[in-house]
Amino acid sequence: MTIEEVITMLEETTNGLKDTLRRKSSDYTGGEGSQDPFANFKATQVLDVDPVIGVMVRIMDKIQRVRSFVNDGELKVSNESVYDAFDDMIGYTILAKAMVKEKRDAVTNQKIKGSLWKELEDLSEQD
């Protein structure tokens, strides 16, 4: 396989995952009206499990499927291929990355708001 073939595979995979993410988002997050693409993962907080850790557990499930395929040369569930497991890992990784970004952005915004609030308090004390 050449690097160009790998790049083509990357493009095909990511294009397919965009469609899959859009379709599954509705099913797993509470329907088409849901505003939170991570709602199903955030449900792990009920068990005191960080949503990113919950996604990592799902990735580990997929790793186990690939491991089974490598060891046995086949998967027993016929409607899911080893390629599907790889695609799922990629999709879960993107979702975990997005959740970490959302969390970091929220922390940054809180710091900015806190800093601005402090500046306003300082200004009002000067008056």
User: In this predicted model, what pLDDT tens digit does every residue of 61-102 receive, in sequence order?
Assistant: 999 999 999 999 999 988 999 999 999 999 999 999 999 999
Burial 97-107 (b: 16+ CB within 10 A, else e): eebeeeeeeee
What 3-state class would DSSP assign to 15? Answer: helix
Residue 85: exposure state from Cβ atoms within 10 A (0-12, 13-18, ≥19): buried
Question: pTM of the full predicted structure?
Answer: 0.80
Q: What is the pLDDT of residues 24-45, one digit of tens each?
A: 887 888 777 778 889 889 999 9
Helix (H) or strand (E) holding 58: helix 51-72
Q: How far is CA 69 from CA 6, 41, 66, 75, in A?
A: 21, 27, 5, 6
pLDDT at 127 over 80: no
* Per-residue pLDDT at 12: 96
Can you tell me the mean pLDDT for 40-52?
93
**What is the longest distance spanned by two Cα atoms in the chain?**
76
Residue 24 near residue 87, CB atoms below 8 Å: no
What does the pLDDT read at residue 30?
77
Interhelix angle 3-29/82-126, rounded to 10 degrees, is: 70
In angstroms, the CA 34 to CA 37 distance is 7
